[in-house]
Amino acid sequence: MVVICSIIFLFNFKTFTEVSRFVSKIALILVLAGFHLYGQEKTATHLAGVYKGKTLFIQNPYNPKLKTFCVSSIAINGQALNVPYDRTAIKIDFNNLDEYTPVSIEIKHDSLCKPIIINPDAIQFYSTFSFESISFDDSVMTWSAHGEHEGSYYLVEKYDLGIWREVDTVQATGSFGEDTYQHYLKVEEGANKYRIKYVKANGEYLYSRELDFHYYPEPVIFRPAQTATMLTLSRTANYDIYDAGGTLVLSGQGNTIDVSKLPSGDYVIYFDKKDPGVFKRQ
């Protein structure tokens, strides 16, 4: 108020009407300035679902007074989407995503407007099924889920040389309650990546989150060096046993090995294709 009075004094208005008009103009400018600043505040709208091979369309309102569009940015699973935001309609194609991959969408926009999702059914997954957990422990992958459908099954997939390869099929119980499953992994030294694919009888499917881990095993220790029956290993491992002539005579996986059927003699044993050791079958 002191500032406005000072301005009025400087302009030396001659009539009260002139003063009133001037004050009205100043007040309008301040209101519009405040409105403009308020309109720059941002908020976010969140969506969740699965990519079903369909394009999602978002209506992006335009404010002719401020000459701005509502939406300022969109991120899918945490990755910013590079699309033109100066359009009244935004198209999301979900490039580079596998079909039925879970998607989380964050739409940042002006607080005075709200984007409209034209076809929300494009990412809605009409199923009660969901993965509850997936974990890895000592070469065993364990997962649990609930809401299974009759005739459904799981595919264990491993990422290998840029391609997801199926390594195991596990039949689902088909019960609505929670069930737990296991798969014994044939892991490789270094980086490993797995995921679970749930497949319904009608062909629809849904992926679990990806499980990434690095595997650097401790050397296998076995005993005894001489035995007529069993070898005991310090951990579960893949093994190959060769006779003195270099012929493969026994292979498998486990933490114990039954050698009772091998002829007497000396043998070389490899664990995970390395760490050779020697034992004698009595």
Q: What is the structure's pLDDT at 5? A: 46
* Mean pLDDT within 1-15: 46
Q: What is the structure's pLDDT at 22? A: 54
Higher pLDDT, 24 or 121: 121
Last residue of a domain, one of 215, 241, 261: 215
Which string of b and e fits 63-95 if b means at least 16 CB within 10 Å? eeeeebbbbeebebeeeebeeebeeeebebebe
Last residue of a domain, one of 161, 185, 215: 215
- For the beta sheet containing 179-184, the strands, ordered from the edge strand earlier in sequence to the opposite edge, are 130-137, 140-146, 179-184
Residues 202 and 245 grouped into a single domain: no
Between the two ends of the chain, the Cα-to-Cα distance in Å is 106
Residues 35 and 46 grouped into a single domain: no
Total domain count for the chain? 4
Q: What is the structure's pLDDT at 239? A: 94
Q: What is the structure's pLDDT at 273? A: 83
Residues 87 and 164 grouped into a single domain: no
Task: Work out the pLDDT band at 9, boundaries 50, 70, 90.
Answer: very low
What 3-state DSSP class applies to 3?
helix
Q: What is the structure's pLDDT at 91? A: 94
CATH of the domain at 181: 2.60.40.10
Residues 33 and 48 grouped into a single domain: no
Is the pLDDT reported for residue 36 higher than 60?
Answer: no
For the chain, the helix, strand and coil percentages under 3-state DSSP, each to the nearest 5: 15, 50, 35
Residues 166 and 94 grouped into a single domain: no
Q: Cis peptide before 263, with omega less than 30 degrees from 0?
A: no
CB 115 within 8 A of CB 108: no
Interval 93-111: pLDDT, tens: 998 888 878 888 999 999 8
Task: Work out the pLDDT band at 126, boundaries 50, 70, 90.
Answer: low
State the pTM of this model.
0.42
Interval 37-65: pLDDT, tens: 444 578 999 888 888 888 999 999 999 88
Q: Judging by beta carbons within 10 Å of its beta carbon (0-12, 13-18, 19+), is residue 168 exposed, middle or buried?
A: middle
The CA distances from residue 72 to 77, 118, 257, in Å, are 17, 18, 63
Give percent above pLDDT 90 in the chain.
Answer: 42
Residues 72 and 112 grouped into a single domain: yes
Residues 106 and 137 grouped into a single domain: no
Provide the residue type at 47 as one letter: L
Residues 161 and 85 grouped into a single domain: no
Q: Which residue has tokens 């569009």?
A: 69
Residues 145 and 209 grouped into a single domain: yes
For strand 68-69 and strand 62-63, is the pairing parallel, antiparallel, or unpaired?
Answer: antiparallel
Q: What is the structure's pLDDT at 209? A: 85
Count of C-beta atoms within a 10 Å radius of residue 269: 22
Residues 135 and 107 grouped into a single domain: no
For strand 153-160 and strand 190-199, is the pairing parallel, antiparallel, or unpaired?
Answer: antiparallel
Higher pLDDT, 36 or 234: 234
Residues 179 and 236 grouped into a single domain: no
Interval 157-177: pLDDT, tens: 999 888 899 999 999 988 777
Q: What is the structure's pLDDT at 109? A: 94
Residues 203 and 249 grouped into a single domain: no
Please tell me the number of Cα atoms within 13 Å of 175 on its side-chain side: 7
Q: Please provide residue 2's backbone torsions phi and psi, each rounded to the nearest 5 degrees.
A: -65, -40
* Mean pLDDT within 70-84: 93
Q: Which domain holds residue 234?
A: 222-281
Last residue of a domain, one of 162, 182, 215: 215
The least confident of 32-36, 185-189, 274-278 is 32-36
Interval 16-26: pLDDT, tens: 455 456 555 55
